Structure 1
């Protein structure tokens, strides 16, 4: 089971995350592309850090929402979304290429990610942008209780799919992550997080927020590294997964 992390989300004098501490423990870095976070210098440094630790790189495009950290939905047309994804992926791809690296996938950020999962026209606009981008880019998208419609659309566009689950988020019965506004939506207890990661990695069911069993197929699990406690959790997850594989 791969571990991925949203990373490179500092901007100017504002620092977000402990990228240098979490990078050694992850397999995939979802690098911000400037619209919700990540200015050009931060992008350049983050790419260098990923290359140093041999971490696979992906673009993490968002709505143009620096003030809201990309967590607010915006009334953008399909054409606008298509263009903004091309723009952000292109910028990061150029920065990666200048250092001898390349991108392997795209994981939309925040509200764009959630909207993509609920709105087919948004998902199609993103898939079309991936199809037109240089190199072959997979789409990292949220796994749910029924991934067949998502698989079918990706196959239509000739885009590989990486199914993502979350280590520290609660799920509803349809397999969608619960809104952060809901009590219990985010797991903070390390034992609960480890149990959820292990269950997903073993192909076992987890509990929904209502206590019902849920099976989630996943290729990669999203972890966070924005504070010392979350970095410690990532280290524990990596150690546990390695012990399970040995």
Structure 2
């Protein structure tokens, strides 16, 4: 029996003359695109182009909302109330959804970015406010939960949530993720091994050799990694051997 898993990637993070990521090269290898909506990155033109690119490749489209901090790429801590963070998410969700609607593309999910994701993980009140905001817009949207704290909050609500794992970042023994200050090239074989391990067994090994549970249905690959295409090629080369089938987020939900 085949194992089904989604590959998601944060995309559309260029803006103006600033280019970030390798969206055109990455899109053929993924099943779900989390698209920035102008707060931490992205602009209206990039949003339109990225949604159209995803549609061209049959990739699921959703919003990647961040804090209003382009200077810090949405990774700096901000003092914001639960209600303010909810409004940030609803605003960005509406903007990207309008772009998708204009192009006739189905809009399916929400995945928080950077410091916003950390805020939701550390504060259940913030997480609840965001989930309630998403439900108020469309109860059929899927919430891509970036860690177990957020996932557990989603279980309090009638919202579909999918837990994601990471293979191009390292885990600590407590299942927290090590976020490097700068992205470095990763070993394709190691990343592919981690992908297969999570997809088939729901576990991954830390750099210290500790095996931890990561019951993920979606795997995040960071599109701005120096050798991201090589990593994705290595993963795809292992799919048949490991009896893993790629399935988009909306099909899993």
TM-score normalised to the size of structure 2?
0.88
Instruction: Number of aligned residue pairs: give it.
Output: 240
Question: Residues 13-58 of structure 1, C-alpha deviation per residue, up to 9 Å, x if partnerless?
Answer: 1111111111011000000010011100000000000111110011
Q: Is the 1:170–1:187 Cα contact (8 Å) retained in structure 2?
A: no
Name the structure 2 match of 1:171: 171
Change (3 A) 1:187 1:119: farther
Name the structure 2 match of 1:68: 72
Question: Residues 108-131 of structure 1, C-alpha deviation per residue, up to 9 Å, x if partnerless?
Answer: 011111221121111111101110
2:162 & 2:190 partners in 1: Cα distance? 24
Question: Residues 126-164 of structure 1, C-alpha deviation per residue, up to 9 Å, x if partnerless?
Answer: 101110113621111124xxx4x6455323321111110
Task: Please state how far the C-alpha of 1:208 moved relative to its aligned partner.
Answer: 2.2
Deviates more, 1:168-177 or 1:127-136: 127-136
1:127 & 1:57 partners in 2: Cα distance? 18
Of 113, 116, 120, which residue of structure 2 is paired with 1:116?
Answer: 120
Runs of at least 5 residues in structure 2 that lack an aligned partner in the other structure: 245-253
Name the structure 1 match of 2:247: none
The structure 1 segments of at least 4 consecutive aligned residues displaced by more than 6 Å after TM superposition are none
Higher RCO, 1 vs 2 (CA within 8 Å, ≥6 residues apart): 2
1:86 & 1:204 partners in 2: Cα distance? 32
Of 213, 216, 219, which residue of structure 1 is paired with 2:214?
Answer: 216
Q: Is the 2:151–2:163 Cα contact (8 Å) retained in structure 1?
A: no
1:47 & 1:206 partners in 2: Cα distance? 32
1:166 & 1:83 partners in 2: Cα distance? 28
What pairs with 1:107-186 in structure 2 (closer than 5 Å)?
107-134=111-138, 136-143=140-147, 147=148, 150-180=150-180
RMSD (CA atoms): 2.0
Change (3 A) 1:30 1:151: closer
Change (3 A) 1:127 1:65: same
2:139 & 2:130 partners in 1: Cα distance? 15
1:204 & 1:151 partners in 2: Cα distance? 16
Of 191, 194, 208, which residue of structure 1 is paired with 2:192?
Answer: 194
Q: Is the 1:187–1:193 Cα contact (8 Å) retained in structure 2?
A: no
Runs of at least 5 residues in structure 1 that lack an aligned partner in the other structure: none
Q: Is the 2:203–2:215 Cα contact (8 Å) retained in structure 1?
A: no
TM-score normalised to the size of structure 1?
0.91
